[in-house]
Structure 1
Amino acid sequence: MTMDADLKIPTVAETLKHPAFPTAIWNLEPDRKGLCPVAEGRGGPLNINYEIHGEGPIKLVFIMGLGGLLTGWQRQTLYFGHLHRDKYSVLVLDNRGVGGSDKPLMRYSSSEMARDLYDLVTSPEVNFLPANPDRDQTRCLHIVGISLGGMIAQEFACLYPHTISSLSLCCTAPEIKNYSLTWLENIKSRLGMLMPKSPDESVAGVARQIFAHGWLPLPDDAEVPVVGSTPKALPPVAGGGGGTYLRFESNAQRFVAQEMHKRMDKSKFGLKGFLLQLVAAGWHCKSEEQLREMAERVGRERILIMHGTEDGMISLPHGKVLMEWVNPGKGLVIEGMGHAPSMERTKWFNELVGEWCEGGERLDGRL
C-alpha cells in the first residue's frame, strides 16, 4: 500500500475535545471477567485479563494483534456476545504485555502466548475446554486471530489442533519478511518504528498503515450500541455522553479516539509491553511443512484466511504465502481492504465469522 502523507488525520487535541470522546470505548458488561493465572513453569505464573460475553453454546475466541487491548474487539463483542448472546459465548483477552494482563520483562514468543491461551481456556474460571491434554478433546473452539493474534492462532493450531472447530486467520503471516526492501532497508524500516514521534505523528502514522486510505475520511460508520436495545441490558454510557453513544466526524477520528483511550492509560499500554510483543511478532516463524501439517490435523475445510490488498502493516505477499502453504477451505484476497477488517468492514466481517463458526459446528455434528 502506498503511504499517502497528504491524508489528513484529525489531531489528538481536537479529538479529545469531541463530545463523542468519552463514549469511544463501549461499556459492554461481561457475563464473567477476571484475572487468570497462566504460564506455571514457563516463567510464570502471570495473570491474563479476560472477559466472557454471552452464554450460548458456540465458543468463540478473539485474539488481538500487536499492542491491542480486548476492547479492540468491541464491535464483535457487541454483535456476538450481546446481540446474539444466546448463540455465542465470546472470550476476549489482553495478551501478556498489555491491558489488564501482567507485563513481565522476559522474552515473548507467539508460541508462549498460544500456551497462555490454552492455560486460559482450560482454566476452571473460563472452562472453555476440559483441562486434560492427555485425551482426545471434543472440537469446540472457534479461534479468530488478527495480525500478531493470527500468529498466536497459528501456534495454537499447531499445538492443539484437536480443540479447533474453526480457525480464522486475518491479515497475518507465517513470518515477517519484506518482499520489496533490501536487508539494510528492512532493518532501517523496523528501527523507524521506535523513533520518537509526537502523539499526532504516531497515531496518524499507525492509522495510515492499518486502514485503507479511502475508508479513513468517510463519516463514522460504527454501529454504536443503543442502551436498552440488547437482550442483556447495557450499563450506562461510560464517561458521559448524556446516556447515548455518540458518533465522530470520520472513521479516522474514531480510531484516534480509541487509540488515545488506550495510550492515556499508562497502566494498560506502555513501551515495554509493546516492544516485547513486537519481538514475538518479528520472530514468529512457521515453515511450510509445519503449516501443512497443522492444516491436515485441524482440517483444511475448517480454516479461513483473509488478507486485504491495502494492508500497510503486513503486506499482501505475506497473506498469499500463508494461503499457498495452508491451502485453506476459504482463502480471500479482498480488494481495497486494509489491516483491520473487524473495524473497516464490520458487518461483512461479523457475518463471515458467524458463517464460518456455523460451518465448524456442522462439521462437528452440532448443527
Structure 2
Amino acid sequence: MLNIYRAFVAPTAEETLRHPAYPSAIWALESHRKGMVDAAIGRGGPVKIAWEIHGEGPTKVVLIMGLAGVKTSWQRQTKYFGHDRADEYSVLILDNRGMGESDKPLARYTTSAMAADVVDVLDHVGWTAEREVHLVGISLGGMIAQEVAYAIPTRLRSLTLLSTTAQFESGPARSWTDAIRQRVGFVVPKSEEQGMIDTSRQLFSDEWLAAPDDAAALPSPKTTPRCGPAPGSPDGEYRAFDTNFQRFQAQELFKRRQVGWFTRQGFLCQLIAAGWHRKSPEQLRELADKVGRERIFIMHGTADNMITVANGEKLIKYIEPAVGLIVEGVGHAPGMDRPEWFNSLLEERFIAFNKL
C-alpha cells in the first residue's frame, strides 16, 4: 500500500487488478459504427486513426481527448449522449495519433497535424456539411480543437474548449521546458503506481480521489464489461471500487495493459505537440470571427492543477465567446469527477447552439 494523502492509502496496481470491480472498469458501450482511417495522406502518412460513433441521433458531437487519453476516457459522456440518448445524439470519439489503437509514428507531432487527422476522420464518416458538428476538446484536445476550428470553421455548429490554452502557461513551472520535465516525470523515472498517483493529483482534488467510488454512475449490466466477466460474479455485473482514485487507477491500468495502447514514445510526441501549440491573440480573434462567437463555449476551473486558470481566462479575453465560465473549485477533468453536472452543462449548450 502507498501512502499518498493524510487520510487515504492508495492501493497498489496489483491490488486494483485483483479487485472485483476491475473487470468492469471499462464499460461495455458498443459503438454503432467504428473503423480505422488512413489519415495524413500526403502529409507524412498514412497514419491510422481509430474512431467510433455511438448513437444515431441528428445532433453530431465530436469529443477530442487530451494528453495520453483514449476513446474510453470519454465513457461517462459516451454513455450519456450516445447510449442513454442515442436517438438524439451521434457521438464521435477517436484515439489521437500516439495513443490507443491509433498509430504512433516517431515524428514531431503538432496540434495542427493532429487536427488535420480529425478532419480526415470527419471526411471519412461523412460529417462534412456546413454547421453540422459540435466540437468539444479538453486540455490537449482543446488545443487540437482550436486548430480544427481554424481549418474548417463553417463546418462547426459549435466549439467547446475545456481546461485548455492558446499557449501553455502553468502553475509552478518557470518555463515550458520546466513543465515538460515535470510531466515526463509522471511516466519515466517513477514506478507505475507513483506515476499514476502524481497524475491523479494534477487532474483531481485530494478530497475527490479519497472519496468512495460512486456506484450510482455505473451503467445497467446489459452486456459483458469490456475487461471480461467479473470473477465470482454474474457475467456483466458492474461493481464499485473502494475510492474514486482506484477507479481512475483501474482505467489507467486497463489502458497500459492493452498491447501497444500506451507507449512512452507516443506520450512524449503528444507532449511536445502540446508544448509547441501557439495561437496568438490575433489568431484567436480570427478564429472567433470565422466560427462565430455566438457558437463558442469556454470553461476552466479554478482548481485546475494541470493547466492553470489563467490560461482559460486569456482564451475568454481574446475569443469573447458566447459563454465563458470560470468555475470555482473545478479541476482539470470535470467530465470524470463531476459527470452529472458536466453532461447536463454540455447538453444545455448543445440545445442552445442548435437553435442558432
Shorter-normalised TM range: over 0.9
Name the structure 2 match of 1:134: none
Match of 2:308 among 295, 315, 320: 315
In the superposition, relative to structure 1, how do residues 296 and 268 fare at CA in structure 2: closer, same or farther (>3 Å)?
same
Distance verdict in 2 for CA 1:256–1:35, change over 3 Å: same
Judge which range, 28-37 or 214-223, deviates more. 214-223
Change (3 A) 1:186 1:142: closer
Q: Which residue of 1 aligns with 2:28?
A: 27
By how many angstroms is 1:177 displaced? 2.2
Question: Corresponding residue for 1:176?
Answer: 168
- Secondary structure in 2 aligned to 1:47? strand
Q: What is residue 227 of structure 1 aligned with on the other side?
A: 221
Name the residue aligned to 1:158: 150
Which stretch of the first structure deviates more once superposed, 285-294 or 187-196? 187-196
Q: Letter of the aligned partner of 2:221 in structure 1?
A: V
Q: Distance in 2 between matches of 1:294 and 1:88?
A: 26
Alignment correspondent of 1:259: 252
Count of residues paired in the alignment? 345
**Amino acid in structure 1 at the alignment position of 2:27:** W
Once residues 288 and 5 of structure 1 are traced to their aligned partners in structure 2, the CA distance between those partners, rounded to angstroms, is 40
Give 3-state SS (helix, strand or coil) of 2:131's partner.
coil
Report whether the alignment pairs 1:110 with 2:111: yes
Aligned 8 A contact 1:179 1:317 in 2: no
Q: Is this contact kept in 2: 1:302–1:359, CA < 8 A?
A: no
Equivalent residue for 2:47?
A: 46
**Post-superposition CA distance 1:42-72 (Å, at most 9, x none):** 1011111000011000000000000110000
Distance 1:8 1:329, change over 3 A: farther
Q: Counterpart amino acid of 2:63?
A: F
The aligned runs of 1:283-294 (5 Å cut-off) are 283-294=276-287
Name the SS for the 2:207 alignment partner.
Answer: coil
Is the CA contact 2:20–2:239 (under 8 Å) kept in the aligned structure 1? yes
Q: CA RMSD in A?
A: 1.7
| Regions of 4+ moved over 6 Å | none
1:96–1:213 distance in 2 versus 1, CA, 3 Å: same
Q: What CA distance in whole angstroms lies between the structure 2 residues aligned with 1:329 and 1:98?
A: 33
Residue 68 of structure 2 corresponds to which residue in structure 1? Answer: 67
- Measure, in 1, the Cα distance between the counterparts of 2:305 and 2:74: 20
* SS in structure 2 of the partner of residue 91 of structure 1: strand
How far apart are 1:9 and its partner, in Å? 3.1
Between the aligned partners of 1:67 and 1:306, the Cα distance in structure 2 is 21
- The structural deviation recorded for 1:194 is 5.8
CA distance in 2, matches of 1:92, 1:175: 25
Contact in 1 for aligned 2:186/2:196 (Cα 8 Å): no
Structure 2 partner of 1:128 = 127
* Aligned AA (2:289): E
Q: Tell me, in whole angstroms, the C-alpha distance in 2 between the residues paired with 1:57 and 1:207.
A: 36
2:229 is aligned to 240
In 2, distance between residues paired with 1:187 and 1:200? Answer: 20
TM-score (norm 1): 0.90
Identity percentage of aligned residues? 50
Q: Residue 231 of structure 1 aligns with which residue?
A: none
Task: Decide which moves more: 198-207 or 188-197.
Answer: 188-197
Shift of 1:219: 1.4
